[in-house]
Amino acid sequence: MYARAKAAHKAAAQAARDKRAVAEEEAAAEYFVLLRTVLGALRQMWAQFDAALIVVGLGTLGLALGAAALVYARAQQQPLERLSTQAARPLVGGAVAGALVARALRPLLLANGVSHATSLEATGAGAALGAAAGLCAGLWGETTRAVAHDSSAHAAVPLLGAAAVGAVLHCLAFLSNSFTVNEDSAVLFALQTLVLAAGGVAAQAAVKDGAQGMAGRRALACAAALAALSRMLALSTVCREEQLPQCTPTFYGSAGASVSPLWLAAANALMVWLVPLGVKRVLRRSRSDRAVVARLWVGIGMRASMGLAAAYWLLDAVDAHAAAQAPGQPDWADVRVVLARLAAGVALGGGVVAWHASPLCVDVSLDGSTADTGAAPRRAVVLGFGNAFGAAHVLFVSAVFCVLFLVQQPAGGVALSLTLAALLLGAELFDALRDALPPAAAPRLLPAQAVMMSQLAFLGFFVTGHQFTLASIQWNVAFVGVREMHLAICGVLVALNTLAPFVLAALCAPLPVLWNESLAAPALHRDPARYLARVSGAAALYAAYHLLVALSAAACAAHFRRHLMVWKIFAPRFMFAVPVTLVAATAALFVAVGFAVVHVLRVALSVGGVQSLVARRFAQR
């Protein structure tokens, strides 16, 4: 085509004067056809956006968010089995109907140029949208029971308002590329605003007399400690390219470093002593630390697993330092592989497996004497009775934490340890607020606590050396414990390193219901299914926050799809929102609730297990 146009132009230049005008028009026509063809080819190579699939995706995310909110609302009043029964048939029916409708509409959309989806894509998108719509319809079924009005319930309004404002600001940040780039600062601001609001509510209760005043003062101390801890966490940073030069990276110890120095590896080794000490201190308040499983795991197993992981990263820093000084020297690669595998084995075999095989985190102490006739009878005291559920779940979280600690670089290990401390401190804060506020206000604290845990997860993501960019992925952790490249294993290691704070916070999602819950909790023994539904509702709230953020990121990426910075800022943020939301929801609903909480409650309902423990102690005496 170009040759024809060039020949036509040459012929027009050589044509006689009376025929030159016609020849020039013919050459112009040849060039016009050429340019239109080239433009069409370039547009095919340019990004093509399917408007129909974008709308379906946004609708699916919005309906999933509504379903998570409905699970929380309905779980406060109905057992989980009933909710599942009501939602199962509409979910399946909606998926089938959505797939059929999508297949029917696809030819029409293709003809009008609205969509270029394949048959499989259209079927999957229609099934997803129909399933989400059916789930919402099934959960919407019955109107929820009205809650009696109580003026004392307004005590939690400032805290709920701060949580709502923080969540909205987090979502609105994606409307601006500058706020999206500085999301770490926005999350820290929203989190500290919520902690400040919690401190204000606690301060109002602290001036009262009696138990409420003591609980208010305890909550005020927890809020102050959490505010200081969040600022300490924010000292660890990895800067995006767009944040420079205002941002100073500190994750690797200095601005120009790309590997961890020896002093950071030593600080990571310090966590081997501090983290188990903190977990033991949290359990000591209810005397749950006296249980055999707590003494063995927290005192020995957890320290051993974290110690092996810290030794791995210390040797890694030694190797990196030696390679920089004298390349070609022998390294500790084989020893590091053994250390990493032992650390993972102790965490999974000695932690998770032992936790699953052991009873609740309780122990029995015997008082009295059996000497002669007339002596006082023996009395059995169950230690850890007041926090049996929460303590047992914390042991499970601590075992998984050891695995996540292994795949973090030294600064990331320190940051992840402080994130765990912040999550447990948040559980204590809201538990104290429930004791300090009137009974009618206590149930309203759950949404604010879910928002705080979600924001702590995002803050933990940033302070463990990550940003929502592909360049910040720490690929070197892919070889922790392996000698050569294994696609599946290396991919899992990188995913655990990147998503560790979200997994850790998701596993803590049931704590708002389980924390400081007595073994004789009336709600559990009266209706176990409804109690499990309450725990599922708390996990659904955690998932709902991530769905809300994902929906906002997707909507803003769709709106700015022709923006100059779409592939630099908006699209990567949406790309990361997908695995973050999937992992957070899966870990909260299926691992934390479906696996850990179900096991804890099953053991708790087995009264014979506690009775046999008491009987064995009597027999030993």
- Asked if pLDDT for residue 460 goes beyond 80, the answer is yes
Q: Which has the minimum average pLDDT: 99-113, 368-382, 562-576?
A: 368-382
Whether residue 146 has pLDDT greater than 50? no
What is the rounded average pLDDT for all residues in the chain? Answer: 88
The pLDDT tens digits for 176-225 are 999 999 999 999 999 999 999 999 999 998 888 888 899 999 999 999 99
CA distance 31 to 25: 10
Q: Which pTM does this prediction carry?
A: 0.89
pLDDT tens track for 299-326: 899 999 999 999 999 999 888 888 777 6
Distances (CA, A) of 480 to 211, 314, 395: 50, 13, 24
User: What is the average per-residue pLDDT within 490-515?
Assistant: 95
Three-state DSSP state, 249:
coil
What would the pLDDT profile of 218-277 be if each residue is shown by its tens digit? 999 999 999 999 999 999 999 998 988 888 898 987 777 777 888 899 999 999 999 999
Distance of CA 43 to the CA centre of its chain: 39
pLDDT score, position 369: 45
Backbone φ and ψ of 380, nearest 5°: -95, 130
* Alpha carbon distance 122, 129 (integer Å): 11
State residue 96's pLDDT score.
Answer: 95
Nearest-angstrom CA–CA distance, 465 and 135: 38
Residue 590: its pLDDT value, please? 94
CA 243 to chain centroid, in Å, comes to 25
pLDDT tier at 156 (50, 70, 90 boundaries)?
A: confident
- Looking at residue 371, what is its pLDDT? 45
Of 123 and 385, which is predicted with more confidence? 123
Q: What is the percent of the chain with per-residue pLDDT over 90, rounded to a whole number?
A: 58
At residue 528, the pLDDT reads: 83
How many Cβ atoms from other residues are within 10 Å of residue 334's Cβ? 9
Rounded CA gap, 254 and 464, in Å? 15
Confidence (pLDDT) at 549: 97
DSSP 455-470: HHHHHHHHHTT--SSG
Out of 397-401, 461-465, 520-524, 613-617, pick the least confident: 613-617
In Å, how far from its chain's centre is CA 249? 24
Q: What are 528-538's pLDDT values in tens digits?
A: 888 888 999 99
pLDDT of residue 611: 56
Residue 467 has pLDDT above 50, yes or no: yes
Looking at residue 154, what is its pLDDT?
75
How would DSSP label each residue in 361-384? S-EEEEES--SSTTPPPPEEEEET
Name the residue among 422, 380, 383 with its Cα closest to residue 401.
422
